[in-house]
Structure 1
Amino acid sequence: MKILAIRDITGTMEPLPGFSVTRTDGNNGERSLKVTGIRKPSNRHGYALVKNENTFVYDNEEYIIKTQRDRTYKNGVGLEATAIHRIFDDLRNNYVYDEKTGTLRLDAMLSFALAGSGYTFEVDTTDLPLSVKVENFGWNNSLALFRDILEKFGAEFDYKGKKIYVAKKFGTQRNESFLKYRFNIKDPQKETDTNDFATYIRGYGKKGDDGKYQAYAEYTSPLAKIYGIKHADPVKDERYTDNESLLAAIKKQLNDRMDISLTLTAVELASMGLKDIKKGDYVWCVIEPFDLNVQLRAVSREDYSDDSKSPTFTFGSITQKASDIIASFNTTKKAVEKVIDTATGKLKESALNTDGLATKSELKAHVDNKAVHITAEERATWNATSGAVDSLNSITWVTPTLRNDWIQYTDSNGSYPIQYGKDAVGTVYIRGVVTSGKIGTLTPVFTLPLIHRPPYPHLFTGVASVGKTDVPQYFRGIIKTNGDVCIVSCSDADNPNQAVGLYTQFKAI
């Protein structure tokens, strides 16, 4: 199990035993922690340090706390906190008071944007542009500039410690089919969506002193020949003073795509035929009704401090250019129109091959099969219980109804409540002091309910009140299989029922 610690702004550092951690790692570089825990004697020093802007240290990485909420749990007082990786805080708080204009290489822009931040970088230039043209690049925090660089070069990033890695894509192409979809789609669910589809866009740059735009560009997608002119919202951006840079920007802005959206969360990938999946990997998914192969990507990974819980991967869709989708349908307008109603942007029911597909009733029967599925509530309960040692010791105490003239004992030191309870592993506990009742095997003090009874008679001894000579006395008791708790006899012959302490435990049926 990975160790979690907390450090405050003065450098004081304490461990946080008993806290659970969920770490999320996405392809957009966002890495965060969700931490939950209950205050205990073993973590009270660290618990007091869990405050906003203090630092979690986990798996040799640092995360800055951004939200913290106190909570009450069944077993005591606790908290929830979320934290982002230190890199985002460091880069956001480092400012570049300079700017650059011209055609710049990727490494030069990174050096400029990260100057003074304390971070270094390594670049895999495979499939990346050699350089891009920029204007007035700078006068911003390092995080904003770094995000801008990634967008301009179409790159991704990852990091470890204070080393940043930049590449076109992280992850590998997997050849095996991840899943063979057999959708029963009588009501299409926007697996292909053209609602924001456009084929034409204009761009306007900075205005000169004469009121005219110094840069102007327009772009018509090749798909306009098939679907006609569909206008996108124009781009107006005063950062651009040349037509070439503005044209490149509006091309990126134009949504001449049809987004295929299929998502899947996998917990036990090995059982589905996929092993050693990493964040960023691509796998193939066959969608039979569409006669189409789609690549899904592992867009995020979630792991846990509890080693018994398997990491969770979320698989999201990639976005394909509309021209690529058209090519998969024999690259002709006629073939496309057999599948997509261009008036509504939805799939035509007539285009779906439903042979061999499951019926709605068959699908419902599968989903409702409790032998192979669990509910979200069940999963949350089991996850919360797993590894939580405190829950094994949790006991709900019950005050029984006393019988045969037995009453609660009270002295100058206070009361000793008579109670019983059972923990998660079936051990029954009895505690408290009673007085004044009838002694004997036929006059029980009280009777335990069915699930708290011993499988065979439970004999025990305990402390009774002192006798006339101030000598401590003892008693002999029995708990019968019918639940009767009886005081059989007491060594104090003069006052056998003055005070009887019931403190014992046993395994229930």
Structure 2
Amino acid sequence: MDLIVNNGIDEEILVDFNVDDFAEDWEKNSAWSVSFSVTKTNKNAYTFNMLQQEAMIKLEGQWFVIKQLEPTASGRVLSKSITANHIYFTCQDHRQYNQKSQTWSIDDALHWTFDGNKLGFTWEVVGSFEKAQMDNFGDANALSMVETILSSFNAVLDANNKHIIFYAPGSWGQVTNNQFRYLYNTDTVNCQIDTTNLKTVIRGYGKQNDDGTYAFPFVTYKSPYVVQWGERHADPIRDDRFTKADSMLAYLPSQLQDKPAVTLSITVKRKEEINKGDHWLLIYEPMNFDTDVEVIGYKKYPFSKYKPPEVTFSNDAKDMTGILSSFNRVGKTVSRVVDKSGNVKTSAIARLPDNKVSVGTGTKFSPGYDPTQLDIPHYSLATPTSDGLMAAADKQKLDLIVVDGNGNVVVNISLATAQNDGLMSKEDFVKLGRILFTGTETIDLQTVLQTLQDHENRITALENGGGTGA
């Protein structure tokens, strides 16, 4: 097996690379890459120089594009650390600029995603899929749209270079006679067993009509494991994609976690042939565990003679890679609505008629409450004699504040009298009139206050026996 390097001009075999650290990493529906390090020697000098960003690596017929390159130098020794992603990830360089909202078949969705691409991408569907409702599908790069398709149709992706294959869950992977047995072909096991979401009964509702009825009566699926675990009811599935009961009944088992969820990573003792989606029998005596598990990830060392693969399994109907993909999709959806500062984007707010409240079809409300029938009041502007957006009395006060031709604020409020309010209330004016001054001398109120305070201080001192005679 050779490792081929292609820089767009030349294609050469790479030699003298570190065979024991060359790794191929794959995770279901989320990652596929190779990584390795190489030091420049007389034998590989020309090919070493070809290892630049965006150059391609071919491993067992599959092309990978260099995305991370870390050259280092120690004296005269030159080295490079390289990570290259599978070429199917470059479908992100194709974009669908338009959007559609409709009920899609998976073929329609893939045509909408890839038709007209000039990068050479093709696709294939294996197995049968129900239709799925997808709103605002598009205005995104093809890789992002593929992630949406995988989620909406519960599909599994594999690729043969630029030919992308979408598998229905029942068509993915192979059931093998292989087994991993503790202390037989593995002695390093990191096992997580979780029964939090273990359920054995699930009910399904199909498309709901405008009058509240359904396309078919609800159907119920009971797992064979109900004998072992009893009846544990899962949240019902409500999905308008389904108009036939048998289609819903066939779908329900894939939505039920009817066995303990097991996720484990192991390192095998010897080289084993591990393939994507393979089902192995896991026998783990310390936990009295004997169950079928699916390969959802691996790290292989294809050029090492002795280094065995590291394998990740799961028997969860919704394995961890699917959960991580869901978080990514939610993040992208939120980013369309909320900006980096946490504020709702104006573009995300639909403009509604002033007197309308929009709700989704089929939405149910409590008896006597219907927001579409709300009477939203309309207020006119206030006048000095009638209330509006403000009280009439406040409008009168506001009208007394004006701006003159020089931009100065002028408060046109008359002086108060005993009969009329003004700068002060008429009551305060009457009180002020009871303070009498004689003579024609101008009175400084601040001086009067200071004199009164001095007198008060002298009286206090005399009362305390601390004063002096006049």
TM-score by length of 1: 0.45
| Higher normalized helix content (fraction of residues) | 2
Which structure features the higher share of strand residues?
1
Q: What TM-score does the superposition give when structure 2 sets the normalisation length?
A: 0.48
